[in-house]
Amino acid sequence: MEKIIKVKNLNYITNGTQILKDINFDINKGEFISIIGPNGAGKTTLMKCLSDNLDYTGNIDLKGKPIKEYSKKEKAKIISVVPQEYVLPFNFKVIDVVKMGRNPYREKNSIKNKEQNKSLIYNAMIQTNTYELRNRFYNSLSGGEKQRVITARALAQNTDVVFLDEVTSSLDMHHELEIVELIHNLNREEGVTVVSIMHDLNIASRFSDRIIFINEGKIVEYDVPEKVINVENLSKAYHMEMLIRDNKLLNYKEIVPLRINKNIEKKNKKIHIICGGGTGEYIIEKLFSHKYEISVGIIHDGDSDVRVCDSLDIKCIKEKPFSEFSLKAVNDYLEEIKGSEIVIITDVPFGKHNIKNLKLLKEFKNKNIIILHNDNRDFINGESDKMIEDLKKREKVHYAYNLKELFDYIDKIE
Amino acid sequence: MKKNKLFFILLTVIMIGIFSVSLSLGAAKVGIKDIVNIIYGKISGNENIFSYLEDSTVYIIWNIRFPRIIVSLFIGGMLSIAGVTYQGILKNPMADPFVLGISSGAALGATIGIISKISFNILGLNFISIMAFAGALLVIFIVYNIARIKNEIPVTTLLLSGIAMSQFLTAILSTIMMLNDRDLNKIFFWTMGSLSGKGWESILNILPYAGLGMIILMYYAKDMDILLLGDESAKNLGVEADRVKKIILVTASVITAASVSVSGIIGFVGLIVPHIVRMFIGPKHIKLLPLSFVTGGGLMVICDTIARSIIAQEIPVGIITAILGGPFFIYILKKKKAEVF
């Protein structure tokens, strides 16, 4: 495959600080590359080096020739750059801003191929949905519209390579997706090579062929999204906890940011949670973040609560779907209950199989149990309601009507 | 296109009107018909057409008023295109031809020329003018080099070093004025600008700067548009930003220095004319530059006519430009600001 950009031993130092450290990578023709990394990692600096706007050391080859040897005009015929939208000091009309994209093809103040020129400008405006705006003043547009106009200008440049510098950060969800899909189509249908700094990791994960992940001026990983997007890589660089799961609908690794790493002391209180059907997600996640030791179960595999446990690496006693709890599961369960200071029963509904969780609790007369209220949880002819009522009579059982009460009880039990 | 044509015709009519009125006004009133005859006769070489007029009338029109009007036109035009350039390159609507300390450099040069009492002429330029020109260029050179970082000229450092230099030189100027109170009046007049006594040789002095300057700026008109997007965007669109910026900044500075050396410091024209023209035709330099030249020139002719004819004594034209230009500009700004900024 043809390598359109080759970077070798790229270093960039400014004011005595080394911003980029020994960067090496290649980009193939027609690839969609995302650059990700935390703020200050050097993403924008890297892009400025790639577009030859900074004085770096090392080699950057564009189409087999050092990029420094290109004149600005030659270079602008191969690479176009879409910056973040900005305000102009004087107010141009939208059409005039888009026309500036044709500047590299201007010779002595005139453009040679007038027809082609016109159609490229027109197409760029149609593709970006800016044709209706053509006679409006640029500065009077909204942020999203400005971004689309600037994108149209880059498209009018008709280049092999398009660079995007966090273009979606000022856009709402709709316009973010609109721009990214537009660029993605350009990449897939016209073979344009795309290099984009991505602010949104999920967008990067979903659309990229490969991801350059940089941190502290160095490339941490450069690979396909499935390899780059993992908790170990990201949580270290971004200093936060996150959850990564397969988005089956759109087929990509989805990142769910949880919280920034705080130094919460590990609690030596162990809590067991009886849940299911998604009733445990929030409670599990919150207690986990407060560094409680947690176990969950017994719960049927495939339940969304199981998935949360798996992604947070929490002990979870599972049983095959729609089946009776096995002896092994029951033994594990009893073991966990024994070792727990508190047992939480979420507002999970009870049926033929999971009622066993409640039944087994009978043995533990002296346990702290917190039950979350639910009027409509009995799917077994009143059997579970009766059990709950029995439990409520005990001294160490607390009945919480909402989540706040539930967490208050946890704090109270010392 | 139709709108442009109309604008062009309107402008031509207005300019002819301004010229005629300006020629006829002054201490001696001369009729429009006589003026047309004199000018047509002089240009076509047929002096019989105006032989019925007194020689002094012909002299006033052809050797005093007409060249002075042409000089006004050029000075106004040059200051305006310099203003267009500075506002564009510095991406700052408050920039004017004097923003980089050119005026204080020229003023200090002229002041030294005035107090030194040296007097000679080279090609119609007297010592004071030469000193002003030299002072202006020297200051620009210093300011550029203070601001320059390697090959780049960042806008902020350029503006700041211009302002700092300006303040410094003004302080020196004030000190000189204080110590030389005999020349106070002359220095004051010079710093307020005047076109009094400018004849044909003054036109020859500024014509090359105006002509060459305009050609260079027009050549880079499209690049100047794109530079408004910022240096980096301009480079990404194929503009050799650093080189182009240098060329047009130097060009605008030389244009300014040349006009200041002839007329003294005339403020306000270079600031407001570009804005007024931009309000009507937009920020594209290919139109902005020539139309600013004409508009600035016309405005200067009007102001100078008022300066020399409103009272018996000549008023420095810089005062008139500020008194008329200020309120007019504010009025237009109020009406059209939404489209421009």
| Cα torsion through B165, B171, B176, B181, rounded to 10 | 140
Model pLDDT for residues A261-274, shown as the tens digit of each residue: 666 777 888 999 99
More confident site: B152 or A73: A73
From A172's Cα to the closest Cα of chain B, the distance in A is 24
**Overall average pLDDT of the B195-201 stretch:** 83
CB A105 within 8 A of CB A112: yes
Contact B47, B41 (CB under 8 A): yes
On the question of pLDDT at A10 being above 90, the answer is: yes
Mean pLDDT of the region A390-403? 91
Percentage of residues in chain A with pLDDT exceeding 90? 58
Write the pLDDT tens digit of every residue in B256-272. 988 888 888 898 899 88
Q: Does B255 reside within a domain?
A: yes
Does residue B50 fall inside a structural domain? yes
Give me the DSSP letters along A78-124.
Answer: TEEEE------SS--BHHHHHHGGGGGGEETTEES-HHHHHHHHHHH
What are the beta bridge partners of residue A300? Answer: A319
Please report whether residue B186 resides in a domain. yes
The three-class DSSP label of residue A219 is strand
> B196 in a domain, yes or no?
yes
Question: Residue A185 has what pLDDT?
Answer: 92
Closest CA to A5 of A71, A70, A53, A61: A61
Query: Nearest residue of B to residue A156 by CA position?
Result: B237
Which amino acid is located at B151 in the chain? N
CB neighbourhood size of B120 (10 A) = 8
Interface test with A, best of B91, B155, B236 (most A CBs within 10 A): B236
pLDDT at position A154 over 90: yes
Using omega within 30 degrees of 0 as the cis cutoff, is the peptide bond preceding A298 cis? yes
Confidence of residue A134 (pLDDT cuts 50, 70, 90): very high
Q: Looking at beta carbons, which residues of chain B come within 8 Å of A62?
A: none
- Among B187, B201, B47, B58, CA closest to B113: B187
The CATH number of whichever domain residue B312 belongs to comes to 1.10.3470.10
Q: What's the whole-number average pLDDT of chain B?
A: 86
Convert the pLDDT of each residue in A233-249 to its tens digit: 887 788 887 778 788 88
Note whether residue B341 is domain-resident. no
A343 has pLDDT over 60: yes
Is residue A121 very low, low, confident or very high in pLDDT (cuts 50, 70, 90)? very high
Q: Which of B226, B286, B288, B242 is nearest to A104 (CA)?
A: B226
B339 falls in which pLDDT band (50, 70, 90)? low
For residue A90, give every residue at least 6 positions away whose Cβ sits within 8 Å of its Cβ, in sequence order, or none.
Answer: B87, B88, B93, B228, B278, B283, B340, B341
Residues of A in contact with B229 (CB under 8 A): 88, 97, 100
Q: How confident is the model at residue B47 (pLDDT cuts 50, 70, 90)?
A: confident
Q: What is the pLDDT of residue A261?
A: 65
Residue B340 has pLDDT above 60, yes or no: no
Residues of chain A with Cβ-Cβ distance to B277 below 8 Å are none
Residues of A within 8 A of B275 (CB-CB) are none
The pLDDT assigned to A169 comes to 79
Q: Does A106 touch chain B (CB under 8 A)?
A: yes
Residue B341 confidence class, pLDDT cut points 50, 70, 90: low
pLDDT at position B142 is 92
Please, which pLDDT band fits residue A68 given cuts at 50, 70 and 90?
Answer: very high
- Between B32 and A152, name the one with better pLDDT: A152
pLDDT tens, position by position, A274-293: 999 889 988 998 888 888 89
pLDDT higher than 90, residue B292: yes
Look at residue A74 in the predicted model and tell me its pLDDT. Answer: 93
- What is the pLDDT, as a whole number, of residue A160? 94
Q: How far is A140 from chain B (nearest CA, A)?
A: 8
Which region among A36-40, A257-261, A360-364, A406-410 has the lowest average model confidence (pLDDT)? A257-261
For residue B149, pLDDT over 90 is answered with: no
Task: Say how far apart CA A219 and CA A210 lie, in whole Å.
Answer: 13
Domain count, chain B: 1
Mean pLDDT of A132-138: 93
Task: Judge whether B156 is closer than 8 Å to chain A, CB to CB.
Answer: no
- B279/A contact by beta carbon, under 8 A: no
pLDDT at B55: 85
Cβ–Cβ gap A91/B340 under 8 Å = yes
User: Does residue B1 have a pLDDT over 60?
Assistant: no
Task: Tell which of A73, A90, A163 to mutate to test the B interface (max B CBs under 10 Å).
Answer: A90
**pLDDT above 90 (res A162):** yes
Q: What pLDDT is recorded for position A93?
A: 93
* Residue at token pair 């290099």: A195
When pLDDT is cut at 50, 70 and 90, the band that residue A342 belongs to is very high
Each residue's pLDDT tens digit, B88-144: 888 888 888 887 888 889 889 988 988 887 777 776 667 888 888 899 889 988 998
Range of the domain at B86: 2-336
The pTM of the full predicted model, rounded to 2 decimals, is 0.78
DSSP letter, residue B315: P
Of B49 and A158, more confident: A158
Q: Residue A220: pLDDT band by 50, 70, 90 thresholds?
A: very high
For residue B47, what is the DSSP state? G
- Amino acid letter for position B245: K
Whether B43 maps to a domain, the answer reads: yes
Backbone angles phi and psi of A170, in degrees to 5:
-100, 5
Residue A36 pLDDT greater than 80, yes or no: yes
pLDDT of B335 higher than 80: no
B124 touches chain A (CB under 8 A): no
Is the confidence metric ipTM above 0.85 for this complex? no
Q: What does pLDDT average to over chain A?
A: 90
Q: Do A53 and B236 touch (CB under 8 A)?
A: yes
Q: Which two tokens stand for residue A161?
A: 């390579």
**Residue of B224, B228, B237 for testing the chain A interface, max A β-carbons within 10 Å:** B237
